[in-house]
Amino acid sequence: MAKVLYHNDIQDEVLKGKKVAVVGYGSQGHAHALNLKESGFDVVVGLRRGKSWDKAEEDGMNVKSVPEAVAEADVVMVLLPDELQTKVYEEQIKPNLEAGNALAFAHGFNIHFNQIVPPSNVDVFLVAPKAPGHLVRRTFEEGAGVPSLYGVYQDVTGEAASVALAYAKAIGSGRAGILETTFQEETETDLFGEQAVLCGGLSNLVKSGFETLTEAGYQPEVAYFECLHELKLIVDLMYEGGLEYMRYSISDTAQWGDFVSGPKVVNEETKERMKEVLSDIQTGAFAKGWILENQANRPQFNAINDKESKHQIEEVGKELRALMPFVKKSTKSKKEVVTHGSN
Ligand SMILES: NC(=O)C1=CN([C@@H]2O[C@H](COP(=O)(O)OP(=O)(O)OC[C@H]3O[C@@H](n4cnc5c(N)ncnc54)[C@H](OP(=O)(O)O)[C@@H]3O)[C@@H](O)[C@H]2O)C=CC1
Ligand SMILES: CC[C@](O)(C(C)=O)C(=O)O
Ligand SMILES: [Mg+2]
Ligand SMILES: [Mg+2]
């Protein structure tokens, strides 16, 4: 089994006396900044004036412009959207880095795909939480944490790995497990997971199930509860005890259906498509497409996003959730805050 490190395995003195600049205060940024601060570390948040700046100040953070925050920091964690990192890095981060600083990321995309080429006199590492930022924060507040991967791309000080581990511990990941990786492995597995399983695979599975039932004449409300609402409750069981515990809790009828019908839906053919998705990630084809889409101001992204938001499952879901006051969003959606950062 791979070596998994926990809270007590990690010495964090190496991060004490260092200043950490968290650049960005969105999903990951607010969680890292607050968790680091509450773990006793010296944090400055780097931002432009706007919603995130106001929020970070309301939260009691020390907020400065990106160049100022970087200039005074020893460790610079870049938590801007991936597609904006290169420009901000070139214009505001790189000119303010000093020899011996550490440049850090929560996802390896821009380093792995050579969109950011760091100077040779700084450490470069990643600490990649395997969770949405809001859960990085929420679990920390609950006294728990989410797993993180850490990896070193460049080590000029000889301290890169120990600083990365101390950082991962400070955001709460020592309570869930910290695992060593490379920028390549983190980037490729993270992109694959979100595309094929966690986000793309799941949302399409849910929509297809919903459409199959409604097109056959069943009530949309029944289809919503069956294919979306109950999913969380089933996934919670998997989270707590794996597939076995989920199958222990469901009826034997459901378990038999799982065994005989599941493979009719997700099977070798699906796996072949998954391999194609992985291959596009590995060759850089996906990254190239995403970079070009942003350069063209996201024509496809915006059109698909608009169509998806009008899907019947979203309309019926909104009405049903309004009648369940205990089901509420713990954060505003990107749409509600209009800007990109949603903290
Ligand atoms: N979302 C997640 O849960 C996960 C994300 N990651 C990685 O973490 C990184 C951050 O992603 P995420 O947290 O989703 O990002 P968000 O989109 O949530 O955060 C955006 C933040 O960046 C700020 N920002 C945008 N442009 C600028 C600029 N020009 N100058 C200064 N600040 C700016 C925004 O401020 P403003 O309000 O001013 O727009 C906002 O605070 C990415 O590398 C991502 O892959 C890794 C694991 C999970
Ligand atoms: C699953 C999506 C993710 O990779 C994440 C929350 O871990 C992301 O990029 O947001
Ligand atoms: Mg991820
Ligand atoms: Mg990701």
Tell whether ligand 2 has an atom less than 6 A from the beta carbon of residue 197.
no
pLDDT digits (tens, 9 = 90+) for 194-253: 999 999 999 999 999 999 999 999 999 999 999 999 999 999 999 999 999 999 999 999
39 and 163 together in one domain: yes
pTM, 2 dp: 0.96
319 and 234 together in one domain: yes
The rounded mean pLDDT for the chain is 96
Res 331: pLDDT:
67
In a domain, 213, yes or no: yes
pLDDT digits (tens, 9 = 90+) for 109-148: 999 999 999 999 999 999 999 999 999 999 999 999 999 9
In a domain, 301, yes or no: yes
In a domain, 339, yes or no: no
135 and 31 together in one domain: yes
87 and 217 together in one domain: no
Nearest residue (by CA) to ligand 1, atom 10, is: 79
**Burial class of residue 184, CB neighbours in 10 A (0-12, 13-18, 19+):** middle
In a domain, 185, yes or no: no
Tell me the two tokens of residue 266.
């997700």
In the sheet where 63-65 sits, what is the strand order?
Answer: 4-5, 178-180, 148-154, 123-129, 102-105, 75-78, 19-23, 42-47, 63-65
Q: For residue 281, report the distance from its CA to the centre of ligand 3, in Å.
A: 14
In a domain, 190, yes or no: no
CB 60 within 8 A of CB 103: no
Tell whether ligand 2 has an atom less than 6 A from the beta carbon of residue 132.
yes
ipTM (interface pTM): 0.99
25 and 129 together in one domain: yes
In a domain, 274, yes or no: yes
Q: For residue 26, report the distance from its CA to the centre of ligand 1, in Å.
A: 5
Res 333: pLDDT:
53
E strand or H helix that includes residue 257: helix 252-265
Please give the tally of structural domains in the chain: 2
Which residues fall in the annotated binding site for NADP(+)? 25-28, 48, 52, 133
Spatial CA neighbour of 103 closest among 127, 130, 139, 131: 127
Of 124, 145, 180, which one is at a domain's C-terminal end?
180
Q: What is the CATH number of the domain that holds 50?
A: 3.40.50.720
CB 83 within 8 A of CB 297: no
For 232, the domain range is 198-326
Tell whether ligand 2 has an atom less than 6 A from the beta carbon of residue 213.
no
The environment of the single-atom ion ligand 4, i.e. residues with CB closer than 5 A, is 190, 194
Nearest residue (by CA) to ligand 2, atom 7, is: 131
Res 332: pLDDT:
58
93 and 213 together in one domain: no
The residue whose two tokens read 């070596």 is 3
202 and 269 together in one domain: yes
Collect all residues with Cβ–Cβ distance below 8 Å to 95 and sequence separation of at least 6: 67
Res 330: pLDDT:
73
Atom of ligand 1 nearest to the CA of 134: 3
Tell whether ligand 2 has an atom less than 6 A from the beta carbon of residue 199.
yes
The torsion angle over the Cα atoms of residues 18, 24, 25 and 30, rounded to 10 degrees, is -40
In a domain, 241, yes or no: yes
In a domain, 280, yes or no: yes
Nearest residue (by CA) to ligand 1, atom 11, is: 81
Tell whether ligand 2 has an atom less than 6 A from the beta carbon of residue 83.
no
Pocket residues: Cβ below 6 A from ligand 1 = 24-29, 47-48, 50-52, 66, 79-82, 84, 88, 106-107, 128-129, 132-133, 339-342
Q: For residue 107, report the distance from its CA to the centre of ligand 3, in Å.
A: 8
- Helices assigned H by DSSP within 8-50: 27-38
Positions marked active-site? 107
49 and 144 together in one domain: yes
Q: Which ligand is nearest to the CA of 194?
A: 2
15 and 160 together in one domain: yes
pLDDT tens for the chain, 343 residues: list them. 999 999 999 999 999 999 999 999 999 999 999 999 999 999 999 999 999 999 999 999 999 999 999 999 999 999 999 999 999 999 999 999 999 999 999 999 999 999 999 999 999 999 999 999 999 999 999 999 999 999 999 999 999 999 999 999 999 999 999 999 999 999 999 999 999 999 999 999 999 999 999 999 999 999 999 999 999 999 999 999 999 999 999 999 999 999 999 999 999 999 999 999 999 999 999 999 999 999 999 999 999 999 999 999 999 999 999 999 899 887 655 544 333 344 4
89 and 226 together in one domain: no
133 and 224 together in one domain: no
Mutate to test the pocket of ligand 1, among 49, 59, 79, 109 (most ligand atoms within 8 A of CB): 79
Q: Which ligand is nearest to the CA of 197?
A: 2
Nearest residue (by CA) to ligand 2, atom 6, is: 132
39 and 72 together in one domain: yes
Tell whether ligand 2 has an atom less than 6 A from the beta carbon of residue 81.
no
Of 146, 180, 214, which one is at a domain's C-terminal end?
180
Mutate to test the pocket of ligand 2, among 149, 198, 286 (most ligand atoms within 8 A of CB): 198
Of 180, 212, 234, which one is at a domain's C-terminal end?
180
- Residue 291's alpha-carbon distances to 217, 243, 284, in angstroms, are 42, 37, 11
Helix (H, G, I), strand (E, B) or coil at 252: helix
